[in-house]
Structure 1
Amino acid sequence: MSDGAIVYGTREHWDRVAGVRGVASTDVSVALGSSMLEGRSLGRRRVLDVGTGNGNLPIRAALAGAQALGIDITEPGVRLAAANADSKLEDPDVRARVSFRAMDASALDLPDRSVDLITVLKTIWCLPDIPAACRELRRVLAPGGDLVIQLWGSADDCSLLMVGASLLAEYVTGMHMPAGYRGPFGVTPRYMRGVLTRAGFTRFSVRRHSFEAEFSSPDEYWTLVRSLAGSAYYALTLLGPEQRSELDARLWEALEPVREGDHASLDLEWLVLTTGYDEKLRLVDER
């Protein structure tokens, strides 16, 4: 077994995750991104994507006419997202509408009320101080704008993530969240509504989404994980060849109940929480 020498949430940890993240999309990652932008008119809007990953959300926003900024905690993450944008946006006018910066979500280097839409995809549970980040997001969001946060469903509804993660944890024993982190399934809509209300947000809605992911080998399974959970995939890269072979065999055996020959499928459920505040209510708050 490997302890991985990983200290979750450190700058070094996120640097390493960025180093293995990759830019390839999967059907399930595309569905996740689409759910964040569903039904939104993006033309001429100012969009901030927090924890931008490979930058696909800002790229999609720029293609729809928005002025988009993606932020990541590390410079390697920013370089990855920028390279992805360079490769996907051939029109220089569209490329000029998207930018990337290294920035801490709890201390945003942005003016008050300077963005119209904020997206937080696969990120909120990674933040060491969620309340501080939400206060900053409230500060930079314009009245009437939307903050859109993706949350996972329950662990039972996310078998696509949990099957591999539970096995992987036996091999990379050092991969765990330190005290203070709630974890991906501990950041619930109820918890977030309380945090966001205290930060000054006043309207809320939640939409539920699901996806059945199909794959035909352990390699294809881990490709899906790579597009959904960068830290888990980084932990996978720490295994030696013998450990990886053993893990893959155990994974395929564990999937026997949902396999038909070489074909398997697992479910993933997530929630999209949308919040914001109105100008009138802001004025009342600030009296």
Structure 2
Amino acid sequence: MNDLNTPQAKAAAAYNAASDLFDHPANTFWDRFGRSTINRLELKPGASVLDVCCGSGASALPAAEQVGPGGRVVGVDVAEKLLNLASAKAQNQGLDNIEFRAGDMLDTGFADASFDAVVCVFGIFFVDDIPAAIRELWRVLRPGGKLAITTWGPDFFEPANAVFWNAVRDVRPELYKGFNPWDRIAEPAALSAIFNESRVPEPLIVAEAATHPIVSPEDWWTTLLGSGYRGTIEQLEPAMVEHVRQANHSFIVDRKIQAVQANVLYAVAEKL
């Protein structure tokens, strides 16, 4: 984690920077898909849940609601500023059955069979060795428990995504698509193959076609700043940022874009 070029370090830098707009009303997709993931697990009162790459609590907080006072949820992330947001939200909601801590999904530090459910929403792709991460999450899962991994499907944020990256290429060609690790597992077959390589039983994979509304060009820019794209934007000089912003603004206006694709893959594997 000390190497600034690791995917985990890049993710930490990007999402710490994005924390100021991560929970902006323009970015409702975090809560939407986080809660949807938890609802697929049918958590029982009193259950224990580990949520890695928990962000600001989009899946961890619904999990804490569902397992109730007798349950336990642990949220882990590499971005400490997002963990601070999550802790504040838990306190505001009166959820005292949840804790947040900095950590690495490749080495969680928990004993074997510690949790009834393990969740990773939009995060499993932030390591080079995805099968190793899945094996670690499987290790801490109890028999009878479920592992839920949610990732982005194909054509993420299109048609505006391509406009963003093309504008970045105009000013910093070496940064072009330098932060889109989810592309590796955007198709069900690719995600299934990763599970097979992990030696984890075949999951049930559900592909959901979805969109995310774009109310205005400003909201689209806020979505970029409040997500992993922030890491790329932070590497640009002010004039370069303005070029990228203007390219995106013009595209949204000229094409009258009102939504972008937000397709999702849900994978759930049960440990017998």
Instruction: Give the shorter-chain TM-score range.
Output: 0.7 to 0.9
Query: Equivalent of 1:69, from 51, 74, 90?
Result: 74
Partner of 2:80: 78
Partner of 1:58: 60
RMSD over equivalenced CA pairs, Å:
2.9
Q: Structure 2: give runs of 5+ residues left out of the alignment.
A: none
CA contact (8 A) 2:164 2:247 kept: no
CA contact (8 A) 2:50 2:115 kept: yes
2:199 maps to 1:206: no
After superposition, where does 1:176-195 map in structure 2 within 5 Å? Answer: 183-187=181-185, 188-195=187-194
Partner of 2:239: 242
CA contact (8 A) 2:73 2:98 kept: yes
Of 203-212 and 116-125, the range deviating more from structure 2: 203-212
Listed one character per residue, the Cα deviations across residues 4-50 of structure 1 (whole Å, up to 9, x for unaligned) are xx835253662353133234152322222122112433322111111
Output the CA distance in 1 between the equivalents of 2:197 and 2:11.
Answer: 30
- Structure 1 residue 85, shift from structure 2 partner: 2.1
Listed one character per residue, the Cα deviations across residues 261-280 of structure 1 (whole Å, up to 9, x for unaligned) are xx6322221111111221xx
After superposition, where does 1:3-152 map in structure 2 within 5 Å? Answer: 7=5, 9=7, 11=9, 14-22=12-20, 23-25=22-24, 26-42=27-43, 43-64=45-66, 65=68, 66-73=71-78, 77-90=79-92, 94=95, 96-152=96-152
- Structure 1 residue 135, shift from structure 2 partner: 1.3
After superposition, where does 1:254-265 map in structure 2 within 5 Å? Answer: 254-255=251-252, 258-259=255-256, 264-265=258-259
Q: Find runs of 4+ consecutive structure 1 residues off by over 4 angstroms.
A: none
Partner of 2:250: 253
Q: Which has the larger radius of gyration?
A: 1
CA contact (8 A) 2:75 2:100 kept: yes
Listed one character per residue, the Cα deviations across residues 112-162 of structure 1 (whole Å, up to 9, x for unaligned) are 011111111111211121111111111111112111111222237743544
Partner of 2:224: 225
CA contact (8 A) 2:157 2:260 kept: no
Output the CA distance in 2 between the equivalents of 1:135 and 1:39.
Answer: 21
- Structure 1 residue 98, shift from structure 2 partner: 1.1
CA contact (8 A) 1:82 1:99 kept: no
Partner of 2:261: 267
CA contact (8 A) 1:258 1:266 kept: no
Partner of 1:285: none
Letter in 2 for 1:248: R
Partner of 2:271: 277
TM-score when normalising by structure 2? 0.81
Count the aligned residue pairs: 261
Q: What percentage of aligned pairs have identical amino acids?
A: 20
Letter in 1 for 2:121: L
- Structure 1 residue 52, shift from structure 2 partner: 1.6
